[in-house]
Amino acid sequence: MTEFLQRLGEHVGAWLYLIASGLAFAEAAILVGMVLPGETALLVAGYFCHEGVLSVGLMLPLAVAAAILGDNVGYAFGKRFGPPLRASRLGGWVGEHRWIRVDEFLHRHGGKAVLLGRLTALLRALVPSMSGMARMRYRTFLVWNAAGGMLWAGACVWLGYAFAASLHKIERYATWAPIPIVVAVVGAWLALDVRRKRRERAEAAQQTETAQPAGPAHSEQTQREQTQRERAQGERRQGEPEHHEMPAAALNVEQA
For the chain, give every domain's residue range: 2-142+152-174
Answer yes or no: are the C-beta atoms of 141 and 106 closer than 8 Å: no
Query: How sure is the predictor about 93, in pLDDT bands with cuts at 50, 70 and 90?
Result: confident
111 contact partners, CB below 8 Å, separation of at least 6: 140, 141, 143, 144
| pTM for the predicted model, two decimal places | 0.60
1 contact partners, CB below 8 Å, separation of at least 6: 167, 171
pLDDT of residue 34: 64
- pLDDT: which is higher, 208 or 3: 208
pLDDT of residue 178: 52
Query: How sure is the predictor about 256, in pLDDT bands with cuts at 50, 70 and 90?
Result: very low
Query: How sure is the predictor about 2, in pLDDT bands with cuts at 50, 70 and 90?
Result: very low
pLDDT of residue 240: 54
pLDDT of residue 235: 67
pLDDT digits (tens, 9 = 90+) for 154-201: 999 998 888 887 766 655 554 555 556 666 777 787 888 788 888 888
pLDDT of 86 over the 50 cut: yes
As a whole number, mean pLDDT of residues 126-139 equals 88
Query: How sure is the predictor about 81, in pLDDT bands with cuts at 50, 70 and 90?
Result: confident
As a whole number, mean pLDDT of residues 56-62 equals 92
pLDDT digits (tens, 9 = 90+) for 212-238: 554 455 556 666 777 777 776 766 666
